[in-house]
Every structure is written in C-alpha cells, then in structure tokens.
Chains A and B, each alone.
Chain A
C-alpha cells in the first residue's frame, strides 16, 4: 500500500522555489564571505605575496603577543563600556519615553514621537560632525549655554580627554538611537489589549503601579529583543568613532572599540599597511563574541521569558 503510493507523492517544488531567492542571496552575500573571513584568518602572508597556512597562529598572536592582546582587550573593554552605557541610559529612557507617549492624556504625542525619532534616521557623519561642533571649546554652543546657566566652569573638552571621551561618544550614540527602543516599546504598549488594562483598573491598579505590574511584564519580550539589538549594534559599531575621533580612536586609544580596531588592522592606516589576515582574525573574534552574546540571550534568557497570549 504505502509502497505503491510513495512514487505518486508529488515533489513539493514550491518549497525549494520559494526558499531559493532568500537562500541564494543570503548565501552569496553573507554566508560565503563569513566563511571566507574565517578561512582568511588561518593564513598569513609569506615571502613574495604567497599565502601560507598557519593554523591558529594568528589567534595566538592576537591573544598572546602583549601589544596585540593589549590593544584587543582595550578595545573589548571599551566596547563593553559602550554597551553598558547604552543599556543603562538608552533603554531605560526609551522605555520611559514610550510609557509617557502611550499615555492617552498626552497632547502632541505624534510631534514628540517624530522629534525623538528623527536623530535615528540621520547619518553617523552628520551626527558626529554636529556633536563635535556643539561640544567644541572654540565655537561650540555648549560652553556658552553652560556659561549662561552658571555652569561655565564645569565645561571641559570632553571629546579630548581620555577619561571622558568614550562616555561622551556613547551618550551621543544614545541620543541618536534612543528613538528605536522607544518606537519598539511604544508599539508593544499599544498592542496590550484594553480589556487587560480595564480589568486591572477594576482591581484598583492604576497609574504607576499599573505600569510596573501589568504593562512592564507584558513588554519584557520586547525589552529582551531591544537588548540583543543593542548588543549586536554596539559590538559592530564603528562609524561614530571613526567620524568623531578618526581611525586612531584618540585620545590615546581611549575610544578604540572592536570596530575601529578591526578597521586599522584590516585596512591599515597612513604608513601602516593593512594586514588582511590579522584583520580577519579580529573579525572572527568579533563574530564569536557576538555569537556568544546572542546565544546566551537565546538559550539563557529568551526561553525563560513568559509570553502572554491574548
């Protein structure tokens, strides 16, 4: 019975056909280059432009050589700090803004929503340039504005000091991207059914406690998604640092993050010729850092989040 039916079972071509475009494009522009990079990191340039297989020697250099590992860990810690600032500042502010925006009593909500979101659609080059001008000790508006409210002495050339440059840049990035978590959370808040909120009101839960007890648990999965987006975005970041501080990520490498470190290694800078093999090594390590972070979230956090069906 089953034997005779098996040959007649139609081959489901449509699955392959529908999958093909995405699969081909994704393979061609993402998966093949990714493995190309991993492969490149296992080689080094030999005598006379030849390629020599060296196994994991590049990784040994990156982690073992005091100069390479010093630069690498500096970039990693800076990157972590960059991420922490985003998690502590950008996301709470984004949630707070979304909560305020979703309040039905707020007037001009559409205006605020647009105004706060606009920086996110600006190019990094513009953001970097504008903020450098604002914070410029020579022509910036920041020193004058601080003078006007009596805080003139508090002004410092923040972007030029080792202690404050990275935090300043992180806050600029927060300013630029705070609209993204705000929009996502706002959408999540709007999708909470009115019945749930009305039921809460019937039980006497209103105002702030309604937010903490009803809305926040319902938007937790969205917050999780935002955290992981922030993580990936921050560990891939490069543009803002390059625009504001240049490829050497001054002052004294204090704003060097993995992206700028990769750029200098791979493409070289000024008299420093690029080294594609060490560059690929750095890129591979970045890939694994991001992979580890995403896996941790996927298997450690996301599976434990409770979801509610309405």
Chain B
C-alpha cells in the first residue's frame, strides 16, 4: 500500500516536473571557442534569455584541437548538444550529408546573408544551407601610424605606391619595412598569397572559375601574386627565412616594423601589446585593374543538431543570431571577428571599423583554396603554404610554383584533368 502510494506520488511529482520543464527548454551549445566563454555567459546568453523567456542556453565549449573528434563521436552516440558550432567547409558538410545537422535553408534570417557568407556551410551547388554564418576574418595590412607620420608616408592604394612606401622605409633604414617570416609557412600563403591575390583573380569570379576548371593555376592571375610575393622578400627583416609567426607579431608590436600583412583577427591581441596608433589598408590594387577585392574569410558558423528534440527552440535561437542585436554584441565582444550578417552593425574599435568598412568599398571573397579544391590528396591549401614560402625564399620561381600547384590539383580533381 505505502509502496504504491509512494510510487504514484513520485510519478505525479515527475509529471509535474516534466510539465515545468516542457515550458523551459534548455539548449546546450557545443563550441570550440572556450576563449569566448565569458562573452557568452555575460553578454550573449543574458541578452537572448531576456528576449525569449522559456528558452535557456547552456554554453559548453571543448578544447579547439579536440572539438571535431569530440563532436563527431557525440553526434554518433546521440549525446551532442542541441546547437552545434560549425567549422567551415568539409568538416560540417560531412555532418550534414550524414544527416546530423538540420537543414536551415528556410530559416527567415538566412536572407541576411550573401552567397559568399553562406558558401562555407552550403552544399556544393549552394541549394541547401545548414549553418548560420557567424563570423569572418578580413585580410589586409596593419601599419604603424607613428612610423608613417615620422617618415611622411601616405597610405598606399595601388601596387606601385605600396612598393614606393616599402622602398622609402628601406631607404630610411631605421625600421624594418614589413614584418613577416616564412618559417611557419602559413603566413606566406594566408597573409601573403590569399591576402593580395584576390585583386588578381578578381575575387569570387576567379575562385569559381578555378573550381569549374575554367582557369588553371598556371594562368597569369594565379601566378602574378607569387611574383609580388617574390618581391616582398627584400623588404623583410634579416633572416626572415627562420622568422616565426610570433616573431613577426612581436616585431610589429614592439614598433620595429612599419607594416604587418595580416588580418583582422590580430586586432584584439595587438590592442593589448602595441602602445602606438595603428591603421589598416586593404590589399593595394595592381595597375590597370578596376574595382577592389578583399579576402573576407568565413571562419565560424552555428547549426542545429538534427537529433535534438528542441528543433523549434533551436530555430528561434539561430534566427535571433542572424539579427542586428546579436551581430553587434559579437562584433564588439571579439573585435576582428566580424559578423557576416548584412544587418546594421556598429563597432566601437576604430581599427575593426576600418577593416569592416572595406566591405562597402570592395567585393568580398573567401580564401581561394578552401572550398572543394582542397578535398583530395595532395591538399591544395597545404601545398600552397609550401609553394608560397618557396617563392619567397627564392627556391622556386613564381611560374614553378603555379606549375607545382596545378600538377597537384590535376592529379585528383576531375574538372582539371
């Protein structure tokens, strides 16, 4: 008797409890950005929960290096959170193809994103999108305003002006014209080749032509950026061959170098390190070209676990992320990681504002080798690191670099065979 009573009581209590929770949905968010945990806890989550009573958020980041494998095994085991932070391109595409991410193509807020922004989380034909684009990084050149003032230099807009500025700093001799090393190789490819190349292959146009197999890496627009990189080496400091990425950052923030080819993700770090005024300019355009392009590279998206029971609440949260309020919150909390939404965003950091303003003047594109063409072996993106570094070191001519990359791509990619 008593046992039965207790049981029924427990059941009733349990029912009540589920009844209470049914109204209060908690969405668990998987992410690799454990650096951002305070931003989520203190700014983003309170802002969302205030606007949407009944939906609670729980931000559960994993260490970046383990994120992909941890997420994959959690999704396979059915223990993953409701909301999933998406890596760009193939890693997330694979999850979508396995049916582990929900299709978000019809999310109302998706209208706020351009095709370029969505490219990292869309199927190859662009018909379905499975993650909300969250942040991108923009390439450009950061410069030391004090040095420019001291030497009376103007911010260069064309390639010729750019080299004239470098020559002037070189001649003066008190500063290293440009802080960049090639020891880690990726700087040469990412901050060098992908940064300045966009003006040569005309952004999305050239990238699409490469994917379609209409242009080859031995064509002028893909080789010319290498030619420029080869000219750079004379303006880098002594021993740039073994200068590493942190070395270059330090050279610049210590005020020993005038120009730093890089991207917006440096802003937060440089703000802490450097005690001089910094400015930024987009990649200078080569003579005789019209318009300008910037590498506005998609880096982070956010999607919905297809196995989550809270699809409705999840979609509400993701839709909120596409709006102006969330975008502004993100952009100011992490300057240099820009929201991809076309919603109006106001930035407080002037340097970040400068980077972001280029979107209005130039056309955006992503790094050329990230979508589709790096799916095989040898990996075009990784090969481009070695090729760019070799060109800057002088071991390969620009033409040899183009041929090597093309040979690698042709060996597995059908449109280039």
Interface residues, chain A, with chain B CB atoms under 8 Å away: 67, 132, 135-139, 143, 156-162, 245-246, 248, 250-253, 269-273, 275
| Beta-carbon contact of B185 and A248 below 8 Å | yes
B386 in contact with A137 (CB, 8 Å): no
Shortest Cβ distance from B275 into chain A, in angstroms? Answer: 19
**Contact at A272–B379, with CB atoms within 8 Å?**
yes
Question: Top 4 A-B pairs ranked by shortest CB distance?
Answer: A137-B239, A160-B241, A160-B242, A157-B242
Cα–Cα, bound, A275→B182 (Å) = 27
B238 interface hit (Cβ, 8 Å): yes
Complex CA distance for A270 and B390, rounded to whole angstroms: 19
Q: Contact mask B251-279 → A, CB, 8 Å, 1/0?
A: 10000000000000000000000000000
Q: Could you say which residues of chain B place their CB within 8 Å of the CB of A156?
A: 239
Instruction: Provide the B373-391 mask, 1 if CB < 8 A to any CB of A, else 0.
Output: 0100111011001100110
User: Distance in Å from the Cβ of B57 to the closest Cβ of chain A?
Assistant: 31
Q: Which residues of the partner chain A approach B237 to less than 8 Å between Cβ atoms?
A: 137-138
Q: Which of B238, B379, B389 contacts A251 (CB under 8 A)? A: B389
Contact among A67, A162, A252, A271 with B382 in the assembled complex (CB-CB below 8 Å):
A271
Asked whether, in the complex, the Cβ of A252 is within 8 Å of the Cβ of B374, the reply is no
Distance in angstroms between the alpha carbons of A139 and B389 in the assembled complex: 22
Sample 14 A-B pairs with CB under 8 A, ordered by A number. A67-B377, A138-B247, A157-B242, A159-B242, A161-B393, A162-B395, A246-B185, A248-B185, A250-B389, A251-B182, A251-B241, A269-B382, A271-B90, A271-B374
Among residues of B, the one whose C-beta sits closest to the C-beta of A161 is B241
Q: Are A250 and B185 in contact (CB under 8 A)?
A: yes
Chain B residues with Cβ below 8 Å from A135 are 242
State which residues 228-246 of B face A: CB under 8 Å: 237-244
B185 touches A138 (CB 8 A): no
Q: Which residues of B contact A251 (CB under 8 A)?
A: 182-183, 185, 241, 389-390, 393, 395
Q: Does any Cβ of A come within 8 Å of B363's Cβ? A: no
The answer to whether A271 and B243 touch across the interface, beta carbons within 8 angstroms, is: no
Whether A132 contacts B382 in the complex (CB less than 8 A), given A137-B239, A252-B390, A271-B90, comes out as no
> Interface code B12-25, partner A: CB below 8 Å = 1, 0 otherwise?
00000000000000
- Bound complex: CA A65 to CA B251 (Å): 43
Asked if B90 and A250 make an inter-chain contact with CB atoms under 8 angstroms apart, the answer reads no
CB atoms of A138 and B243 under 8 A apart? yes
Q: Which residues of A contact B385 (CB under 8 A)?
A: 248
- Interface check B184, CB cutoff 8 A: yes
Shortest Cβ distance from residue B368 to the other chain A in the assembled complex, whole angstroms: 12
Centre residue among B184, B185, B242 by max chain A CB count within 10 A: B242
A252–B386 touching, CB < 8 Å: yes
B408 in contact (CB, < 8 A): yes
State the CA gap A271–B87 with chains docked (Å). 11
Q: Chain B contacts of A252 at CB under 8 A?
A: 386, 389-390, 393, 395
Instruction: Determine if A273 and B241 form an interchain contact, defined as CB atoms under 8 angstroms apart.
Output: no
Candidates A137, A159, A162; contact of B238 at CB < 8 Å: A137
Most buried by A among B89, B90, B185: B185
The distance from the CB of B411 to the nearest CB of chain A, in whole angstroms, is 6
> Which of A159, A250, A253, A270 is in CB contact (< 8 Å) with B381?
A270
A160 to B247, CA, bound (A): 13
User: Does B33 sit within 8 A of A, measured CB to CB?
Assistant: no
Contacts of A137 in B (CB 8 A): 237-240, 242-243
CB distance from A253 to the nearest CB of B (A): 7
The residue in chain A whose Cβ has the minimal distance to the Cβ of B238 is A137
Residues 367 to 417 of chain B near chain A (Cβ within 8 Å): 369-370, 374, 377-379, 381-382, 385-386, 389-390, 393, 395, 408, 411
Where the two chains meet, the residues of B that have a C-beta atom closer than 8 Å to any C-beta of A are 89-90, 181-186, 237-244, 247, 251, 369-370, 374, 377-379, 381-382, 385-386, 389-390, 393, 395, 408, 411
A158 to B183, CA, bound (A): 11
Q: How far is the CA of A272 from the CA of B390 in the complex (A)?
A: 20
Report the minimal beta-carbon distance from B124 to chain A, rounded to whole angstroms: 16
Flag if A157 contacts B241 (CB, 8 Å): yes
Q: How far is the CB of A255 from chain B (nearest CB, A)?
A: 11
Which single member of B185, B251, B408 contacts A67 (CB below 8 Å)?
A: B408
* Cβ contact within 8 Å between B382 and A270: yes
Which residues of A are found within 8 Å of B89, using beta-carbon distances? 271
CA A253 – CA B390 in complex, angstroms? 10
Closest to B176 in A: A138
Name A272's contact: one of B181, B186, B377, B386 (CB within 8 Å): B377
Given contacts A138-B247, A271-B382, 17 further A-B contacts (CB under 8 A): A67-B378, A67-B408, A135-B242, A136-B242, A157-B239, A157-B240, A157-B241, A160-B182, A161-B241, A161-B393, A250-B183, A250-B185, A250-B386, A251-B389, A253-B386, A271-B369, A271-B370
Q: Which of A135, A138, A139 has the most CB of B within 10 A?
A: A138
Given contacts A251-B393, A252-B389, contact A275 B240 (CB under 8 A): no
Residue of B nearest to A138 (CB): B247
> What residues of B have a CB within 8 angstroms of the CB of A248 in the complex?
185, 382, 385-386
Query: In the complex, are the beta carbons of A160 and B183 less than 8 A apart?
Result: yes
Set of chain A residues within 8 Å of B242, measured between Cβ atoms: 132, 135-137, 157-161
Give the distance to chain B from A61, nearest Cβ to Cβ, in Å.
10
B181, B239, B381, B390 — most chain A CB neighbours (10 Å): B239
Docked Cα-Cα span, A32 to B183, in Å, equals 39
CB proximity of B176 to chain A, nearest CB, Å = 9
List A contacts of B382 (CB < 8 A). 248, 269-272
A275 to B243, CA, bound (A): 31
Q: Which residues of chain B come closer than 8 Å to A157, judged between CB atoms?
A: 239-243
* Contact call A138/B239, Cβ cutoff below 8 A: yes
Q: Which residue of A lies closest to B396 (CB)?
A: A252
Q: Considering residues A137, A246, A250, which has the most beta carbons from chain B within 10 angstroms of its beta carbon?
A: A250
Q: Once the chains are docked, how many angstroms separate the CA of A158 from the CA of B247?
A: 16
Closest to B185 in A: A250
